[in-house]
Amino acid sequence: MPLTITVSTVANTTQQHAFEYVSDLSHHPDWAMDQMTIEPVVPGPVRVGSKFKHAGIEPFFGGRLHHMNVTVTDLEPSARFGFDTEDGLVEIHHEFRLSQEAGGICIERQLTWTKRPLAHYLIFPMVRGSVQKRLEGAQARLKERLEAERA
């Protein structure tokens, strides 16, 4: 059964700029809550099917280094960007949806765990609140970065 968490923020920026920023995966370490790196497997423009290697510190299980494969799944200019991450045990679909709203651009981020081991069903309810807060913190940092670049 999939599990989904959604967070959103409104940033005072243009829709084009917000899309370019979130669809450039090299920017994600700039606003992520955890130390991470992400590098393309093959250099070039991001498109559906582009693959990346991700390494980051796992905050919930002792701060170990965690590696994931990343594949871009959705790329609708100025409106939607999505990618899947997987490590063999867990698969997560990440989607950013952008829309015009009073005061700026609404950036909605949704994470859906599409594959997870049995232990995840037992552990996740205990850490869900922390995961939600970390995602909200990342959204706040994303908003700050977008608005600082616009200034």
Cα–Cα distance, 113 to 95 (Å, whole number)? 12
Beta bridge partners of 8: 108
**Cα distance between residue 69 and residue 78, in whole Å:** 25
CA distance 40 to 99: 27
Other C-beta atoms closer than 10 Å to the C-beta of 60 total 14
Task: Return d(Cα 12, Cα 98) in angstroms, integer.
Answer: 12
pLDDT in tens, 16-35: 999 999 999 999 999 998 88
Strand positions, DSSP E, the chain = 3-11, 36-40, 51-58, 64-76, 80-86, 91-101, 104-115
Q: Is 51 left (phi over 0), alpha (psi -120 to 50) or beta?
A: beta
31-81, pLDDT tens digit by residue?
998 889 999 999 999 999 999 999 998 776 677 888 999 999 999 999 999
User: Mind listing the pLDDT tens digit for each residue in 97-113?
Assistant: 999 998 899 999 999 99
Show the domains of the chain with their CATH numbers.
3-150 (3.30.530.20)
